Amino acid sequence: MKKALVIIGVVLIIFSTISIVNVTQGQSGAGLYGMLTFYLIMLVISGTLIYFGIRKPKEIRETQKAETKTNEKLKNLKDLYIQGILTKEEYETKSKTLNENTAKSNLKSTPEYKKLKSLYEDGILTKDEFENKTENLEINTGQPKESQSRAYTIGEKLIVAFYIVIFVVLVIVLVNGWW
């Protein structure tokens, strides 16, 4: 779906550029301004499509921020170790603790964990069941988030359908020379 948004956005830019070049040759006044307005609108629509096509889901962005913070902290620990402020044992212990805490934090931000937590808080899962399911979740979430599928909301699907309809109508208008 995301690739379709990018492709439609790029095709709209190409069609819009071709049509403005062809139609505006020798034009001036209101006709020219109308075409420039049309071109500007098409660029905004295309830019929006491309933006949403390449934008990463919120969960991935948050995980990347957390990884960046963890990498900075690990670098600081290493710097302190190199400067002799931390011993090798302290450095290894603190690095291990930091990595474990980051993994737990990333796990707690997953939708699956939140669902399990909600079931536990509602009394549907016992503490043992919750802990066992969480352990299974830790094992199963070792794969990168990008490879996990993401369900699209009805709103997102409607927006894509709306842009596809606009795209088809504009192609028909441009091909038939109705503009």
Residue 155 forms part of a structural domain: no
Of residues 161 and 121, the one with the higher pLDDT is 121
> Under a CB-based contact definition with an 8 Å cutoff, are residues 35 and 24 in contact?
yes
Phi, psi of 178 (to 5 degrees): -80, -15
Q: What share of the chain in percent tops pLDDT 90? A: 13
Whole-number Cα distances in Å, 90 to 80, 97, 100: 10, 10, 15
Look up residue 64 and give its amino acid: Q
Please check whether residues 37 and 81 belong to one and the same domain.
Answer: no
Please check whether residues 10 and 51 belong to one and the same domain.
Answer: yes
Q: Which of 14-23, 35-44, 142-151, 169-178 has the weakest average pLDDT?
A: 142-151
**Domain count for the chain:** 3
Taking alpha carbons only, the member of 55, 2, 28, 36 closest to residue 163 is 2
Tell me what the pLDDT averaged over the chain comes to: 77
Please check whether residues 65 and 100 belong to one and the same domain.
Answer: yes
pTM of the predicted protein model = 0.41
Range(s) of the domain holding residue 85: 58-107
